[in-house]
Structure 1
Amino acid sequence: MAKEIFDRKEVYVGRDFGGVTYDITPEFVAKYVAGTGDDNPWYRGPSPFGGPVAPALILYDAVYHSLGWYLPNIYGNLHARQEWSLFAPVMVGERLTTRAVIVDRYVKRDREYVVNEVLVSNASGQIVSRSRTHQSFLLPEQTKQGFVVDKSREKDSSRSFTIGERGGDPIESPMRKITEDMCMAFSGPVRNYHNDKQKAVELGFPEIVVQGMLSVCLVAEMMTKRFGPGFLYGGKMDLRLVNVVWGNDVTGPKGLIVERHPEGSRSRAEVEVWCDKADGTKTIVGSASALEL
């Protein structure tokens, strides 16, 4: 029926992009570590689950396996929001299968957004995670000349965000320089605007645009270190990417536990989370939660 209503290239809610199978090998994990700097010893040795466990967002780029869900005008496109729910840990050596489908498309201010949901299941068919990636595209009438976003934008008062000022228990995490080698490991090997300055300029940006998912992974790293199994079982994130991280920027996540409430026989910690640059510019703001085990 869909083929009769929609053109085969149309980006419509309900379009299914099928599945891809991934083997979570030590080499696969090593690539993740090289791209993020998240070198948790659980990934290569004993963990609370027995043997090595994979990073929570080991399939961070599965949503980009096919870009058929992107709108035609990719000039100035940006990752705008990321939702993630974790249901079970993934052990190194497991085989995972994804399924991707467009679940929403909407217009907000001068951009149009497409939302791609990815379900990940293990060999037994258990769903281990669900993510929703909101990608934004300039409307046709908003097509611009020159840079769509430059470094001065983040200094505008409209790009200032208040978060982390409530009372609560802080979660600290070290800052990290996002090198060009990390960008290539995380977003390569094909050259694109996430790892190559010239490609970035071609799409309307003055410097390498660090893939937004990398900062999302840094938040997941912080939550894993703080909550351990309580994040890998039942962790949640809802993050808005509000300013660009450029190549060679220094950035890092922070959190503040602002509430705890019962969930069955356990307690769930609700956390305000954000990422700062070295100069205090916020690049991600949002919320996350985990069980306290």
Structure 2
Amino acid sequence: MTAHHTAVLRRNLTDPSRATHVKDLEAGLKPPVFDEIVIPEEFGPVDLLVDDLKVKRFAFTQDDHGDWYLRAGPDGPRMAQAGLLANDLLQLFTLDFAPSQVVGLHTEEELWFDRPVLVGQRVRLAGRYVDKYESRGQGYVVMEADARDEEGRTLVRHRGVEIMRTTPGEVAGRGSAGRGTGRRVSDEYDTSLPLVERLGGGTVPGMGLGPLRKEITFEQMAVFSRIGEFVTNIHNDLVTARAAGLAVPIVQGQQLVCHLAELLTRAFGAEWFRTGWLRVKFLRPVSAFGGIEAAGAVREVERDGSRTRVGLDVWVRRGDGSLAAVGWARGEVPTHRHVRAILPFTGDV
């Protein structure tokens, strides 16, 4: 990092302690509506400290308490969860747009994992709006962002599509209206093969990943969706959710993405933090007090000497069995590593 430094690094996009002396925390920010979007528009950079509390807070929101994050990583230093910075990257636009006025829907998310984020590391986030378009009567905006280390190397890259200002109660549940993505996701797998927890050189197409089941509480939703920064939205406030046509708050799509990232960390191990790619489309909302199941199936296997590249379809089901999100994932594993059937995951692969 060269040009931009903050006197005291923070763990959030904004400093909630400003509330002790600032009356309106969103004064001067633009209304988050389609007509206010300028292409291109830059956001940041923002320097953050990945400290112990940030990692433990994320562990609470995701119920993801692996040993790598709380004790020691596979190479020694503690690592942050793969999805730790995903919401910070998504929310970068709220540096210029009032976050508590956002009433939109995240329709598509894409993440690339280039290097692990280490506990105690200083990271720099920056993003930009790169496109805007209208479809099915809604205004969409596309943002790209990345997190880099102090040497300027990318850690995590993000590309997201969001509807800017809508009525979620009217739009949610009709399926994603984003642009085409190519091959259709299938949630089928070969039941004659064992469900696997860890992928390896012996991975074959048709294998299913052992599902990851979670109960997402409202408290977890609220913390994930920035209640600690005094941001109010349809994910952390009942009044705001009902004004948007919802019965109760809904889980942020990015929170579901982070559950898929946990599933894929379990499947790929440490290689996920260096070779992982995940693209997700959101179909139906998950309401507060609902459970989810994240799962996947192997579609493509390509062996190249000591490395094996694996492509998967992934999905998230709601408690009623309907699909909340579908997507595609890809990563690499050492060819010599053995496939492992379902076992309790501790972060030790």
> After TM superposition, is the score higher than 0.5?
yes
Q: State how far apart, in whole Å, the 2-side matches of 1:235 and 1:265 are.
A: 17
> Which residue of 170, 178, 187 corresponds with 1:148?
170
Q: 1:11 to 1:174 in 2, by over 3 A?
A: same
* Aligned-partner SS, 1:183: helix
**2:188 matched residue in structure 1:** 165
CA-CA distance at 1:192 after TM superposition: 2.1
Distance 2:125 2:305 in 1: 29
Residue 268 of structure 1 pairs with residue 268 of structure 2? no
Within 5 Å, which residues of 2 pair with 1:202-213? 202-213=243-254
State the partner residue of 2:51.
Answer: 25
Q: How does 1:71-90 map to 2 (within 5 A)?
A: 77-90=104-117
Distance in 1 between the 2:93 and 2:149 partners? 21
Does structure 1 conserve the Cα–Cα contact (< 8 Å) formed by 2:92 and 2:127?
no
Q: Is 1:93 aligned to 2:120, yes or no?
A: yes
Tell me if structure 1 keeps the 8 A contact 2:299–2:311: yes
The separation in 1 between residues aligned to 2:114 and 2:185, in whole angstroms, is 30
1:176 to 209, 214, 226: 214
Cα distance change, pair 289–150 in 1 and its aligned pair in 2 (3 A):
closer
CA offsets, 1:169-201, max 9 Å, x none? 111233211111111221122232111111101
SS at match of 1:81: strand
Task: Tell me how far apart the structure 2 counterparts of residues 65 and 19 of structure 1 sit (CA, whole Å).
Answer: 9
CA drift at 1:285: 0.4
Equivalent positions of 1:1-293 (< 5 A) are 10-62=36-88, 63-67=90-94, 77-137=104-164, 147-149=169-171, 163-165=186-188, 167=190, 168-187=206-225, 188-189=227-228, 190=230, 191-262=232-303, 266-293=307-334
Deviation sequence 1:121-178 (CA, Å, 0-9, x none): 001111111101111136xxxx77x942577x68xxxxxx962225411112332111
Change (3 A) 1:173 1:41: farther
| Distance (whole Å) between structure 2 residues aligned to residue 36 and residue 238 of structure 1 | 19
Q: Which moved more, 1:246-255 or 1:101-110?
A: 101-110
CA distance in 2, matches of 1:71, 1:120: 22
Conserved? CA contact 1:195–1:208, under 8 Å: yes
> What runs of 5+ residues in structure 2 fail to find an aligned partner?
1-28, 31-35, 176-183, 191-205, 335-349
Contact 2:295-2:314 at 8 Å conserved across structures: yes
Residue 274 of structure 1: how far off its partner (Å):
0.2
Shift of 1:54: 0.5
Does structure 2 retain, via aligned residues, the 8 Å contact 1:149–1:205?
A: no
* 1:103 alignment partner, SS class: strand
- TM-score, structure 1 length as denominator? 0.85
Contact 2:257/2:280 (8 A) holds in 1: yes
Question: Residue 114 of structure 1 contacts residue 136 of structure 1 at CA under 8 Å; is this kept in 2?
Answer: yes
* Gaps in structure 1 of 5+ consecutive residues: 1-7, 155-160
Distance 1:257 1:69, change over 3 A: farther
CA-based RMSD of the aligned residues comes to 2.5
Q: Given the superposition, is the C-alpha separation of residues 81 and 165 from structure 1 closer, same or farther in structure 2, using an over 3 Å criterion?
A: same
Q: Quote the offset at 1:264 in angstroms.
A: 7.7
SS state of the match for residue 198, structure 1?
A: helix
CA gap of 1:12–1:262, structure 2 versus 1, over 3 A, is farther
